[in-house]
A and B are shown apart, each in its own frame.
Chain A
Amino acid sequence: MLTRGLFDKLLWLALLVLAAALVLVVVRAAGSSESAGSKVLDKAMERAMTYQSRVALIRELYGPVETLLQAGQDQSALLKLAEIEKTYPGEAHGQILKGSIQARLGAIDEAVASYATGVKLRGDYVDKENPLSRRTEIGRVVESGLQTVSARLAANPDNRTAQATMKQLYYLQSRLAGGCE
């Protein structure tokens, strides 16, 4: 037969066990969310480190090109880029630098093609906040290109080179406006 006292004792014991279990669950939950958070932090750190090392590598790799450009040696810079391209054919930065030189030397179709290739490979170059951003420079070429190339197309609608350049100009224009691929 269960007495009232024994019943109370059992009740308190049950309450104690439940409270302990609750504390255990809460502590465990807090622990697991802490590790998930640190995982997120790890990934963000990893991304930042990858990005920083990419920027550092680019600065080192393309440093000689930048030096030639500062000295006004556009053609030598292009040759240096051609050499780098043999080792790093898919690197967007080389395409952007090439586009910049081609635009300066008056090869507009080729400049637009190089910029479009570079931006397709890496959107960083049209991102306002990015340290590698070339947004202003690309925007300027797109603006003048749209005028000259559309005039060429109006004079000769079948000109395939102008047609291809126009498509790339629209692509760059949409990326500058914030559009996706």
Chain B
Amino acid sequence: MKLISLASLFKSRLGLVGLSLAILSLLAACKGEERSNPVYRIGYMNCNTEPETIARFGPLTAYLSEKTGLKFEAVTVNTEDFEERFNQGEFAFTHTNSLLYVILKERSGLKLLASEKRGQFGARSAGTIIARKDSGITTLADLKGKRLVFGPFMAPTGFVAQYDLLLRAGVDPEKDLAYYAVPPGSYKHEKVLYGLLYGQYDAAAAPALDLEVMTREGKIAADDFVVLAQSVIIPYCTFGVGKDVDSKVVDKVRKALAELTPESTAEFAGERVKVLKAAWVDGFEELLDSDFDPLREMAKRAKMPPYEEY
């Protein structure tokens, strides 16, 4: 075997070595740029489907990039995966329902950024328990032995508030109802109301906001149902941010959200769209963490996360 020195090897392959060094320096430059111009990912909780989430919040994410000069990306996340994916560092900003905010705040130090305003209670909504007007059911006590449908398990005004209302009225959903159900798949909130309207259930746990929206859209009529009980109003969907994100970045995002008006637009999927209209949102409000205390109390009484007991 003929031995060749390292220097002569380099000399004979000068072209290749040069090309490798060029690629290496390019890679280093890219890495440096990524460090100096990072991408901030926002985890959006899927309400129904991923395409719907992107259609709603893609323009908002584009607006944040345009307004702050920073780069944001939307990530769609299923409710049950949210905590794990946030803790794995997949995204630094969160857009969730208020219960997930409380869970991430208590367990992972998530900080409050801004809350969505929509409907007659602004940044808040309430949970209601309703029955058909012709059902003869007039009080929560009448629900013993009856069929009830809840919204999604983690929904503050579709499950937690109503579970708490029942417990406080002396009706244990686990023992006193004939059974309770949660509709499968997406569009759970609509399924809850239609399930009640068409007689599949005797009563339903409906967010006040859903009742309002579906009444305005003419899908249901105010006279269809009787409201048996209603919770206090609690915060609605909320933006949060990881505790390690630079405070200057946080301030920029908070300001951009607060400055949103119905006329604000952003470039999304090749067209200029109205940000709030696309997101089904009226605006954003800066709540205090203490504004979430009534929800905390409900979750504690219902033994819901982050206060679950087994």
Contact = CB atoms under 8 A, between A and B. Distances in A.
Nearest to B216: A82
B216 A75 contact: no
Contacts of B230: 74-75
- How big is chain A's contact interface, by range? 20 to 34
17 contacts: A73-B226, A73-B227, A75-B126, A75-B227, A76-B227, A79-B211, A82-B216, A82-B222, A83-B215, A102-B120, A102-B121, A105-B233, A107-B122, A110-B121, A159-B285, A160-B285, A160-B286
Given A78-B120, A80-B222, A110-B120, 13 more contacts: A74-B230, A75-B128, A75-B227, A75-B230, A82-B215, A82-B222, A102-B120, A107-B122, A107-B233, A109-B122, A160-B258, A161-B123, A161-B286
Majority SS at the chain A contact face: helix
Interface size class of B (residues with CB under 8 A): 20 to 34
B296 interface: no
Interface string A142-181: 0000000000000110111100000000000000000000
B258 A158 contact: yes
Interface string A53-73: 000000000000000000001
B292 to A, nearest CB: 14
A86 interface: yes
Nearest to B226: A76
A33 to B, nearest CB: 55
Contact of A159 (B120, B121, B232, B286): B286
A106 interface: yes
Contacts of A76: 222, 225-227
Contacts of A110: 120-122
Contacts of A93: none
A78 B286 CA distance: 25
B212 interface: yes
A86 B288 CA distance: 34
B165 interface: no
Contacts of A161: 117, 122-123, 283, 285-286
> Which of the listed residues B121, B222, B223 has the most CB atoms from chain A within 10 Å of its own CB?
B222
B111 interface: no
Most central of B124, B215, B216, B218 by chain A CB within 10 Å: B215
Interface of A: 73-76, 78-80, 82-83, 86, 98, 102, 105-107, 109-110, 155-156, 158-161
Contacts of A83: 215, 221-222
A18 B137 CA distance: 90
A83 B233 CA distance: 22
B222 A107 contact: no
A75 B226 CA distance: 9
Interface in B202-222: 208, 211-212, 215-216, 218, 221-222
Contacts of A75: 126, 128, 208, 211, 227, 230
Nearest to B286: A159
B291 to A, nearest CB: 10
A79 B126 CA distance: 13
Contacts of A86: 216, 218
Interface in B164-203: none
Interface in B110-160: 117, 120-124, 126, 128
